[in-house]
Amino acid sequence: MRRLLKNIKKEGKAYMKKIGFIGIGIMGKSMVRNLMKAGYEVAVYNRTKSKAEDVVAEGALWCDTVAQCAAGRDVVISIVGYPKDVEEVYFGEGGVIAHADPGTCVIDMTTTSPKLAVRIYENARKKGLKALDAPVTGGDTGAKAGTLTILVGGDQEAFETCLPVFEAMGKNIRYEGKAGNGQHTKMCNQIAIAGALSGACEAIAYAKAVGLDPQVMLDSISTGAAGSTQLSNVASRILKDDYDPGFFIKHFIKDMKLASEEAEAAGAKLGVLDYVLDMYRDLETEGLGDLGTQALIKYYEK
């Protein structure tokens, strides 16, 4: 089995040489760089061309349209902002599904609706394409380091074919099952982060209220039973008044809203998620949506 998987990886790398990449944001830019480092030819498209100029200078090929970025590629990857952006990229006369060549693997790495992922999968199959939903976690740091966790839904054969591509961008790469399951797993990730990050902010708020040194407190508890990435990494930015986005508040709101809607449809009650979502919405109404998620502490500082 190990030998078979090794052969699949080798054949996949040999077969998939040309990649179209749509969405050159905080995450996408580093992912493109890692794909190029791995030896892939990467063509890129972004609505704002200036955001892609540095990776184009480094060797990526610029495309003027989504259609141009999708045609003639072995793999097309997208990581954009919102479900409406995914809809625009994949459907319609100028979309990926209409212009990707039969046999192409199309991979949406945006965190979006599981139902939309299934719709992309079904429409892609009708056009002879292979479709995977593969949202990521790890933030800007993981994207730069090539250590993203990648959660993949779709046909297992397509997953195995695309594994070398995923390995250029991430380390913890998981096949989650049928189409939409990658997105459902990402919902679980965002639900867990909502609780962990709000807990970290409450711990800092409490430490300040009772006169503790917040940094000593974080150093003391972050390697124990309370430890988490949110506590040890994200919360440390709070103490430096660093609210630059590794992940935008506005995008986290989008993710939590999707998770809340999916939970309601499935009959699951997620009180912590809904409470944290309300806190972030409150911050967004104050104009803080472009700050990093660690700015949740500002809710407790009111």
Task: Please report the domains of the chain, with CATH numbers, ordered by start residue.
Answer: 18-178 (3.40.50.720), 185-301 (1.10.1040.10)
Would you give the distance in Å from CA 179 to the centre of its chain?
A: 16
- The whole-number pLDDT of residue 5 equals 44
Which contacts qualify for 211-216: CB closer than 8 Å, 24 or more apart?
A: 214/239, 215/239
CA–CA dist 47, 197 (Å, integer): 32
- The whole-number pLDDT of residue 1 equals 41
Cβ-contact 111, 186 below 8 angstroms: yes
Residues in the chain, pLDDT under 70? 1-15
CA–CA dist 301, 288 (Å, integer): 14
Supply the residues annotated as catalytic.
Answer: 186
Q: Where are the beta strands (DSSP E) in 134-281?
A: 136-137, 148-154, 170-177
Cβ-contact 43, 18 below 8 angstroms: yes
List, in order, residues 6 or more apart from 197 with CB less than 8 Å away: 230, 234, 235, 276, 293, 294, 296
- The whole-number pLDDT of residue 251 equals 94
CA–CA dist 212, 295 (Å, integer): 20
172, 205, 297 from 238: Cα distances, Å? 27, 11, 7
The 10 Å Cβ neighbour count of residue 103 is 10
List, in order, residues 6 or more apart from 284 with CB less than 8 Å away: 249, 250, 253
- The whole-number pLDDT of residue 233 equals 86
CA–CA dist 197, 208 (Å, integer): 17
Q: Where are the beta strands (DSSP E) in 178-248?
A: none
- The whole-number pLDDT of residue 3 equals 44
List, in order, residues 6 or more apart from 121 with CB less than 8 Å away: 131, 133, 154, 179, 180
- The whole-number pLDDT of residue 12 equals 47
- The whole-number pLDDT of residue 15 equals 59
